Amino acid sequence: MSASSQPVPAATASIPRPLQLALFFVGCLWLLASTRAAAFLAQVIFTFVNRAEFEPLVEHLLLLLLLLCGFSLLSWIATRTGNLRVVNALPRRATARQEWLRGAALGWAMLLVAVIPMMLAGDLHPGFWLEPRAWMLALISLLTLAVSTLMLEIAFRGFLFTRLIAAIHPVPATALLAILYALVFSYHENATIWSTIVTLLMGVLLSIAYLRTHALWLGWGLHFAWSATVGLLFGLPVAGDANFSRIVTTNVSGRDWFTGGAYGPEGALLTLFVVLVAIPVLYRITRNYAWDYTHTPIVAAGYAMEISPPAAHTAMEAAAAPAPLVQILGTTSTSASTLPVIEEHLRVAANASGSSGSLTESGE
C-alpha cells in the first residue's frame, strides 16, 4: 500500500479538517513553548545541583513529558478523548518490541554502510578513553540519546503528523513535516547544505516508518540506533553535537562532503544515497505491519442477507412446487385377515389338503 493511500487513523478520522489544522498549529506553538520551558527548567535545576553531565538528559526528559501531556490535553479538549499512548502514536500492541528492534537493525546497518567507506579511505582516526568515569558518561549519553530520539519522533511524527495527515493528505503532510524537520536541524552547529538535504530525506524515511505501522516504535528504534552508533560506537558528532563521544573519540580528515566534517555522517554525500536505498528496504520489512495496522477495513456491499424476497417471487415458487411424495406400502399383510369370507376359504383349503393326504396314505 502506497503512502498516498494510507487510511487516517481511527483516533483522528472523525474530527473535521479545519479543526485538525487548528490542532496542528496549536501543537506547533506548544512545541516551541515546551522547548523553551524545558531548557529554562533544566538550567534552574542545575544552578543548584552541580552535576552538569546530567543536564542534557534532564532537559530532554522534561521536554518529552511536556509534549506527551500537552498533546494529550489538546486532543482531550478537541475530542474529549486523550489517551496518552494513542494520541502520541505509541500504542500498546504485541509487535511493539519487534518493531523497535527491526527499526534499530535498519538504523545500525545504514550507519555501517555510510561510515565503512570512510574507514577504508583512512579518514577516521579513533582515540579511546577507558577510565571508569568514561563508562558512566557513556551510559548517561546512551540514556540521553534514547530520550531525545523518542522526543523528536513524538514531536515530528506523532501528534502533529497525524493531525496534518487528517487535515490534508499523507504525501503533502510528509513533505511539510520533513521540510520543517530539516529547517530545525539547519540551525545546528556546523550544519551544511548537504546535512540539510540528508536530514530532509531522513525525515521522509522516518515519516514512512509511521505511515507503514501507524506507530512510532519502528521509527524510534531506527533513529536511536543511528544516533547511538554514530556517537558512542564510532565517536563521531551526532548532528553537529560531539558531546556524545565518551569512550571513543574520532578525529576526521579528508573532504567534508565525503565524511560530513564537524557535523558528522549526516552531512556526508554518501549518506544521502544510503537513506534513499533505505526507503524501499523499510517498505519491504514493514509489509506485515502495513497489512495488520494500516489497511482499510473491508465493508460488505449489496443487499443485506436478511431482506425477504418479493411477494411475486414467493408466489411463483409456490405455484411451481412439485406434488407431494406418495408412500407405497408392502402388498403382503403381516397380520391375520379380519374378513370372514377369506378366513372360511382358507379353512376349506386346509381341510381339503388334509383329506388328500389321508387317501394317499391308505392307498399305500
Question: Is residue 332 predicted with pLDDT exceeding 60?
Answer: no
- Averaged pLDDT for residues 310-325: 72
- Averaged pLDDT for residues 327-344: 59
Task: Tally Cβ neighbours within 10 Å of residue 263.
Answer: 28
- Going from N- to C-terminal start, the domains of the chain cover 3-293
CA distance 243 to 53: 10
CA distance 147 to 59: 10
The residues facing 128 across adjacent strands are 248
- Can you spell out the DSSP letters for 334-356? SS----HHHHHHHHHHHHHHHHH
CA distance 149 to 59: 13
- Averaged pLDDT for residues 157-170: 92
Residue 47's pLDDT is what? 87
Mean pLDDT score across all residues of the chain:
85
Assess contact for 249 and 129: CB atoms under 8 A: yes
Q: By percentage, how much of the chain surpasses pLDDT 70? A: 82
Q: How confident is the model at residue 313 (pLDDT cuts 50, 70, 90)?
A: confident
Q: How far is CA 361 from CA 37, 354, 358, in A?
A: 137, 11, 5
C-alpha cell at 65: 513529558
- Averaged pLDDT for residues 172-180: 95
The residue type of 359 is L
Residue range 205-224, pLDDT digits in tens: 999 999 999 999 999 999 99
